[in-house]
Structure 1
Amino acid sequence: MKNQTIEWVLAGRRQRRRRWILVTCLLAAVACFLCCAMLLLGSTVYPVQDVIRALAGEHLQGVSFAVNTIRLPRMLAGLLAGFAFGLAGYVFQTMLRNPLANPNVIGITSGTGAAAVFCTIVLHASGAVVSAASVIAGLATVLIIYILSRGKSFAVGRLILVGIGIQAMLDAVISYLLLISAQQDIPAALRWLAGSLNGSQMHELAPLAIATLVFTPIAIVLGKHLQLLELGEQTASSLGVDTNKTRIALIASSVCMIAIATAATGPIAFVSFLAGPIAKRLAGVGFSNIVPSGLVGVNLVLAADLIGQFAFEYRFPVGVITGLLGAPYLIFLLIRMNRKGEL
């Protein structure tokens, strides 16, 4: 009987692993398809062979400029930022055991956004300065939220409420910066605040690419500890996890990624909020969904950008489309949590 039970457990684990691998491969395939669509589609649809030749460095009149200067940076910005937003959202939601505990809702994105707007409008800085300021502001926002939400014991609900208050305050700061800014700076700032891939340039994506390559392996390595943290502080500690060091490493990695992504593309709404639950529903439980969540984030951003470009009479920034997708889910989640008494 004992051996039969062990076989059942192992069979269930193998089935979950096969599902995880299948879903991850399918998400990666969809991401590759959307990347190709981003390169092929535009005001002019170029043949596949011409796009490949342009990417290989061959100069083709019209094609090389459109593909290498406009479409490729736009696609890479969506790819990298989507992965960063999806990964960071999953880490926060899993670590704090609450679907509302993501960077969009608890104010981290607003903190990085306020720093980026200040550097862009007031200091007229760009590139590495904006990225550095965004990371510092994101980490400072996390620290402030943690300090203000501390009581006799740690409570996720208190942290979320404090984060929402901090977000409202930082949004007010952003509004004030827009009011005092020069009139010619306002349209670009508003497009950036909506979350947009327009105007992405290759040299501006270097910090985001480096952050993704550096911090993604850290998050993957700590993924097994993240699953234990989801069981609770005491359970994770009893299983040998250094909860403080693990939480600090995960928060620092996630904040750095999402801060640099926000500096590059603006705060693309609800991607970090939606990616984790979608990945968990598709890939199931039992294995870390860090990579699937990042891939879901990529697919959400790229698909939303294509919809915003071609599905309507007017072109909309990617953040408008993701906002339309995420807002109804947020309302549904709040209603469900209220019925369960979790609010």
Structure 2
Amino acid sequence: MAAAEMTQPSKTKDSDSSAQAPKAITAVPLASRRKSRTRRTALWMILALLLAIAAYLFWGRDRLPADEVLQVLTGQSVPGTSFIIIEDRLPRIAVGALAGAGLGISGSLFQRWLGNPLASPDVIGVGYGASAAAVLAVIILGYNDWKLNAFSLAGGLLIAALIYWLSASGKRTGSRLILAGLAIGAMLQALIQYLLTQAQVNTASDVMHWLTGSLSSSNWENALLLLVSLGVIGILLLPVVLRQLKMLELGEDTAAALGVHVGWARALLVFAAVAMGALPIAVTGPLAFVAFLAGPITAALTRGPINILLSGLTGATLVIVANFFAANLFAELSLPVGVITGAFGAPFLIWILVRANSTGSGA
């Protein structure tokens, strides 16, 4: 009897370890499946982006002969077609892809940090800050070069800091921050409308067109400006921000215990997120809902948390696809890209609000 009793604990221990084994075993395939889905999604997104680029090169606004387009792409000169491809369509593609990537990364950083799909620059007012500063620089100061980008970035950072301060009492996430952003955004819209009344007719018309979100002013200079500015942030800051974001998602107390300076980590994250969104806005205007859509679409396709880099790829694809439809949707009318992204994004925003309300989760 004693021997039997002595062996009982070992049996219990063996049964406990065997019960825990499946959990450890299933955790590995789950992570593996998630990585596999992410890779597949990235490949499909790249394919969609390439198809959209090809479609716009051949059928953007005016259909071009396929052989002439291929000749231009291989370095040959074709009168008329060379100008259309090199000076119009390729710059639009370059600026649109870079702007979409920046906006996608910007929105997904805010959404991951705050744990809320509504927390994108479009919704929380940061985009309005960048837009208002850019309009002020154009109408009042007459800037239209790199200073416009600097004003846009400064405006976005200022509004981000103001919204963060207004939501400082209590937890800086969820509805408190979003409501503060909506209030600031409404005031900035009023400021933009007032500035438009003070502008010359031609300037006001150009600014109104810019405010809809357009690639019409795309050129190689703007493409290079976006490539360098976003590239510097992406190479120097983004890897650090992504590492610190993983720590912040564990909770600020846990992050501090792991050696993260929480205040600096938050400040660096906000700067990177605002810069990735404000710099494209200075060039293209506010492309409605691109920053808002990229992250949730990525999460839905991968069935996992928002992937920051994949959101950038998704944002680029959204803008290029929208650019193709903007050029071809109506035979006699070329729409601004922001009209297409806004038309698609608004129902998506309503769907998220309805879904959040039906599940009982706050925005």
Q: TM-score when scaled to structure 2? A: 0.88
**SS of corresponding position for 1:104:** helix
Instruction: Tell me the distance in 1 between the aligned counterparts of 2:189 and 2:108.
Output: 23
1:183 matched to 2:184? no
Q: Work out whether residues 215 and 254 of structure 1, in 8 Å CA contact, stay in contact via their aligned partners in 2.
A: no
Deviation at 1:106, TM superposition (A): 1.0
Q: What letter is aligned with 1:342?
A: G
1:66 matched to 2:75? no
> Counterparts of 1:306-321 in structure 2 under 5 Å?
306-313=324-331, 314-321=333-340
Q: 1:42 aligns with which of 56, 60, 73?
A: 60
Q: What letter is aligned with 1:170?
A: L
Compared with structure 1, are the counterparts of its residues 22 and 164 closer, same or farther at alpha carbon in structure 2 (3 Å cutoff)?
same
Instruction: Tell me the distance in 2 between the aligned counterparts of 1:233 and 1:62.
Output: 59
1:100-150, Cα deviation, whole Å (9 max, x unpaired): 111011111111111111222222221201001111111111111112221
Q: Work out whether residues 121 and 177 of structure 1, in 8 Å CA contact, stay in contact via their aligned partners in 2.
A: yes
1:183-234, Cα deviation, whole Å (9 max, x unpaired): 1122211111000111211112222111221222332453344244334333
Instruction: Tell me the distance in 2 between the aligned counterparts of 1:294 and 1:201.
Output: 21
Instruction: Tell me the distance in 2 between the aligned counterparts of 1:89 and 1:209.
Output: 19
Any stretches of 5+ residues in structure 2 without a counterpart?
A: 1-17
Q: What letter is aligned with 1:265?
A: T
Corresponding residue of 2:191 = 173
Deviation at 1:37, TM superposition (A): 2.1
1:267 matched to 2:281? no
Q: What letter is aligned with 2:190?
A: A
Deviation at 1:239, TM superposition (A): 4.8
Corresponding residue of 2:115 = 97
Q: TM-score when scaled to structure 1? A: 0.93
1:134 matched to 2:116? no
Q: Work out whether residues 217 and 284 of structure 2, in 8 Å CA contact, stay in contact via their aligned partners in 1.
A: no
Deviation at 1:256, TM superposition (A): 1.1
Instruction: Tell me the distance in 2 between the aligned counterparts of 1:35 and 1:244.
Output: 42
1:219-259, Cα deviation, whole Å (9 max, x unpaired): 24533442443343334444554433322222111211211
Instruction: Tell me the distance in 1 between the aligned counterparts of 2:198 and 2:299.
Output: 43
Corresponding residue of 1:233 = 252
Deviation at 1:39, TM superposition (A): 2.1
Q: Work out whether residues 101 and 160 of structure 1, in 8 Å CA contact, stay in contact via their aligned partners in 2.
A: yes
Corresponding residue of 1:246 = 265
Q: Work out whether residues 219 and 290 of structure 1, in 8 Å CA contact, stay in contact via their aligned partners in 2.
A: no
1:282-317, Cα deviation, whole Å (9 max, x unpaired): 12326x601211111111111111111112242211
Which structure: larger Rg? 2
Any stretches of 5+ residues in structure 1 without a counterpart?
A: none
1:258 matched to 2:281? no
Q: What letter is aligned with 2:274?
A: V
**SS of corresponding position for 2:347:** helix
Instruction: Tell me the distance in 1 between the aligned counterparts of 2:27 and 2:198.
Output: 62
Corresponding residue of 1:29 = 47
Percent same amino acid among aligned pairs? 37
Instruction: Tell me the distance in 2 between the aligned counterparts of 1:29 and 1:247.
Output: 35
Q: Work out whether residues 24 and 291 of structure 1, in 8 Å CA contact, stay in contact via their aligned partners in 2.
A: no
Corresponding residue of 1:342 = 362
Deviation at 1:4, TM superposition (A): 4.0
1:302-338, Cα deviation, whole Å (9 max, x unpaired): 1111111112242211111111111112122222323
Corresponding residue of 2:6 = none
Compared with structure 1, are the counterparts of its residues 277 and 220 closer, same or farther at alpha carbon in structure 2 (3 Å cutoff)?
farther
Relative to structure 2, which stretch is displaced further, 64-73 or 221-230? 221-230
Across the aligned residues of Structure 1 and Structure 2, the Cα RMSD in angstroms comes to: 2.0
Compared with structure 1, are the counterparts of its residues 143 and 320 closer, same or farther at alpha carbon in structure 2 (3 Å cutoff)?
same
Corresponding residue of 1:292 = 310
Deviation at 1:280, TM superposition (A): 0.6
